[in-house]
Structure 1
Amino acid sequence: MTIAEPHTPLTFRGDLDVPTGLPRGIDLGRMNNVDKAIAMYGRPLVEKMTDHALLADDYAYRAMLDFKDKSNSMNWRTFDVAVEHGLDALDDPTPGVVALFEQMETVPDWVDFDQLYRGAVAFWRAGMIVQPILAWATIAGGFSMYSATRPVLFSGRLRKADKVGTRLIESFRYVVAAYTPGGMGRFEEGFRLTAKVRMIHAAVRHSLSQSDAWDWANWGIPINNMDAMVTQSGQFGVKFTDAVQASGIRFSDRELDDIFALSRYVGYVIGVPPELLHTDYEDARRKTELHTLLELPPDQLCRDVVESIIKFSIENPPGDVEVLPGPLAKVMTDERRLKLAYGLLREWIPADVMDALGAEKTAWRFVLPAARPLIRIADRIQRALPHDDEKAAFTLLHNFNNAIAVPGGDKAHEVANPEEVGADIAANKGGMPVVAQR
């Protein structure tokens, strides 16, 4: 393997393509409750986090720019080869690609792969409740966040009924792979899909950075470090484990440590800088709660996205996997399931967020509080008796993987095609209004 001569100096400050003249992160229009946040968490942490709203993953971005440079041999196909077989499988990789793989493949000294394995087992061992929590509370609920919704609006993939299902299944494939026991080993499926999603983020960032409809002064840099951090520490960490425990299933302290060690490593591989990554469960909760405090309330665009995801998942569950008990499932129409979903979300998502989403307070909101004591007792009995969490996790994962399998096993279509998403963004298929000319 030889390394091609660089065309331009490599830059990894995290601010490539950011326009000059922007306010500091703390002064962006998207920031809410700043004074309260400073009083509660201290100015240093608030400034550190908000500064990262104008910083992003330049390792992946530089590599993606190399793909666009036709003077070298790097492209999306060669990236896939390197992810599957290692960088040595490429001839003349560019410095940007080399730097990206060196960063991704460097395992931090805090990583214990046995702990990550235990964390993945704990993530799934709760059983069938995991599916609705992932679909409704974690993925759909994540888009109740104003900041998380902005980058996905431009392609129209979460606002158009014929695109929502594809986007939801792609998210499931990534999460299932990354959080499968052993999945984050260098040549395992979790690492491979995490690396691919990382590059999709870089492509989306590039397309949005060129868009006249991207509101830099209000939103900061697309796919920024601040929001990428909370996806792992919050969306697939704090908010997921809180929802599971709100359902009556308790994680032990060790299980929480293990789950958050896994989400930390997934965050590292997907490009969250070490200085912003959570260090443990308590740090993840602190940073997630700070991020939540700084969020603007959900707007109509958030409501549209959340509703489209939930409605699709109700009408078209992945692989027709049934999550409800048989007798109850038989009497559940799509309308009743939708009411049930919003009823469960009342227990999984803060009330003020649900109110801002305009969610109806249906009688189904009393289902989980009524069932929780029984679930809690059953969980305690199950934990006291001999049990095999690893078997339970792999059984659930087997069902998930069958449900979300790519037709024909075609890996080219397991997650989004970066060029297609970029073209949709460039065409502004989401119909976002132009805010400035660059």
Structure 2
Amino acid sequence: MTLHHPELAERARAQRDRLPDLYGCIDFDTTPHRFTTDPGVKSDLPEWVGDRDAVLADDRAVELIRTTTMLGDVVADAYAALSRERGVNPLIRMLQQACRSGVDTVPDAPDELRALIAAMEDTPDWLDMDLVEEGARQLRIGAAFLSPYITRGAFLATFINTYAALPMALTGALTGRRAARRVNETANFFTVTTLPGALGRYGEGFEAAAMVRLMHSVVRCNALSSPEGWDPEVYGVPVPQADQMPAGLINMYLSAMMALGAGRGEFTARERAMLEVSRYRCFLLGLPEELLPTTASGIVEVFHARAATLRRGFDDATCGELVRSTMAADLRPGRSLLDQAAETVERSWSRAFFLGICGGDRKRAERMNVPFGLLDAACVATTAPFVLGRFVTMAIAAEQPLLRRIADGYTTRVVKQRLAEYGNAEYTTHAATYRREVTTP
């Protein structure tokens, strides 16, 4: 029985009526195997991170994750479903034009496109665009000077659970050269949204969010259209909102943990601004407000509730393949000695970041195909003064009244340089590459 989030639960159940061709195969009154509150079953919440029993005792948080584990994005899904007749590329071109010059400029714009753009334009009452711009200014520093060294490691964190990683495994999008493209597209999205004005209605960030949202829906539609490769009773809804939340708020989760660790119950003004831009990005991607807390304790609560109810599972055919191909991918645009050196440094930093996700457990990281050796440690230690030193220096300079504009101008130029290195995001997927056989845990 739904007690705490009845409107959200009704929204999830209504998916079957609104898009029966896609969601007709799913019983929304049944809890999928991936979701568990059994204290005897291992979950994705490590003991060193949180007390699972205490998390499971919070009925409201558990219900929220259970509901959003069954929640897709019917607005974007309806538009993505048109790819069966029109193909994905025409949908991308129409969406790009609608983002850049308005949906009325798209010839014979389908109602599904109009509905998607309208949903993204329907900004929530809580949104403060001035705060978004300030938050973007703060996040630009990390995007310019820190993210290039850890994005791959953060990306790997999305592959350590079979149930959450399966949709990407089905696409075949993270094998071979396509792995590099997906990592760079992810980096491109989070980086471009930090540019000045990028999240305005006609900004690059707004368009990037629309493209990412469409690609999530294309993956969802293709997975649900491949019943031999997707078992709703085991996995629930592909790419559910509960699985999108961590990527959108990971930066704020880390800030929240540090705030609570320092005995602070509230975010600082700087952290609050970063939270605003993070929440708005999530809104543009279709996440419900219930998954976007405004307090440090609230963010930790939803993160831990998701991990505590996600059945642990790491199989080599799904997770291992994704991790190996992502680690092997060459992310740099060239193959010069400088590019190769930069690639080596970045891989070591990404391994270090992933090791942190594993709680410093080198054996666990190695079992997941991300070994962290002495050479990696030496590489990180040697380059840390430059990487962290530049990041901290620019963060301090950005808060000095006399240096703020100069620092932000330089940071913005570096961000644009990063975007050039990541390359143009293509946001494409091909149903023909979807795997038809998967390992069921």
- Give 1:307 shift: 2.8
CA 1:342–1:11 in structure 2 vs 1: closer, same or farther (change >3 Å)?
A: closer
Choose from 126, 129, 146 the match for 1:113.
129
Pairing of 1:54-203 with structure 2 (within 5 A): 54-66=70-82, 68=84, 75-91=91-107, 93-126=109-142, 127-136=144-153, 138-158=154-174, 160-203=175-218
- Give 1:346 shift: 2.2
TM-score by length of 2: 0.75
RMSD: 3.8
Choose from 424, 427, 433 the match for 1:424.
433
Check whether the contact 2:12–2:28 (CA below 8 A) recurs between aligned residues.
no
Choose from 227, 231, 236 the match for 1:215.
231
- Give 1:270 shift: 1.0
Between 173-182 and 345-354, report the one with greater CA deviation.
345-354
- Give 1:115 shift: 1.3
- Give 1:297 shift: 4.1
Distance 1:195 1:216 in 2: 26
Matched to 1:398, the amino acid is K
Matched to 2:32, the amino acid is L
Report the equivalent of 1:383.
Answer: 396
Matched to 2:214, the amino acid is M
Check whether the contact 2:257–2:296 (CA below 8 A) recurs between aligned residues.
no
For structure 1, the residue ranges without an aligned partner over 5 or more in a row are 1-9, 244-251, 407-413
Check whether the contact 1:342–1:359 (CA below 8 A) recurs between aligned residues.
yes
CA 1:21–1:12 in structure 2 vs 1: closer, same or farther (change >3 Å)?
A: closer
Q: Give CA-to-partner distance per residue, 1:3-45, whole Å, 9 cap, x none.
A: xxxxxxx9993443234574756x4222255547564251222
Distance 1:279 1:46 in 2: 18
Check whether the contact 2:245–2:291 (CA below 8 A) recurs between aligned residues.
yes
Pairing of 1:29-428 with structure 2 (within 5 A): 29-32=33-36, 34-35=38-39, 37=52, 39-41=54-56, 42-66=58-82, 68=84, 75-91=91-107, 93-126=109-142, 127-136=144-153, 138-158=154-174, 160-211=175-226, 212-234=228-250, 237-238=252-253, 253-295=268-310, 296-300=312-316, 301-312=318-329, 315-318=330-333, 338=347, 341-347=350-356, 349-351=358-360, 354=365, 356-363=367-374, 364-365=376-377, 375=388, 379=392, 383=396, 387-388=403-404, 389-406=407-424, 414-418=425-429, 421-425=430-434, 428=435
Q: Give CA-to-partner distance per residue, 1:234-266, whole Å, 9 cap, x none.
A: 3x54359989xxxxxxxx822222222111111
Distance 1:336 1:82 in 2: 40
Distance 1:84 1:206 in 2: 25
Check whether the contact 2:163–2:313 (CA below 8 A) recurs between aligned residues.
no
Matched to 1:311, the amino acid is A
TM-score by length of 1: 0.76
Between 77-86 and 212-221, report the one with greater CA deviation.
77-86
Q: Give CA-to-partner distance per residue, 1:199-221, whole Å, 9 cap, x none.
A: 12111111110111112111111
Percent of aligned pairs sharing the same letter:
18
CA 1:53–1:399 in structure 2 vs 1: closer, same or farther (change >3 Å)?
A: same
Matched to 2:354, the amino acid is L
Check whether the contact 1:343–1:362 (CA below 8 A) recurs between aligned residues.
no
Q: Give CA-to-partner distance per residue, 1:132-160, whole Å, 9 cap, x none.
A: 12222x223332243431111112221x2
- Give 1:293 shift: 2.6
Between 354-363 and 215-224, report the one with greater CA deviation.
354-363
Q: Secondary structure at the match of 1:153?
A: helix
Check whether the contact 1:319–1:402 (CA below 8 A) recurs between aligned residues.
no
Check whether the contact 1:195–1:270 (CA below 8 A) recurs between aligned residues.
yes
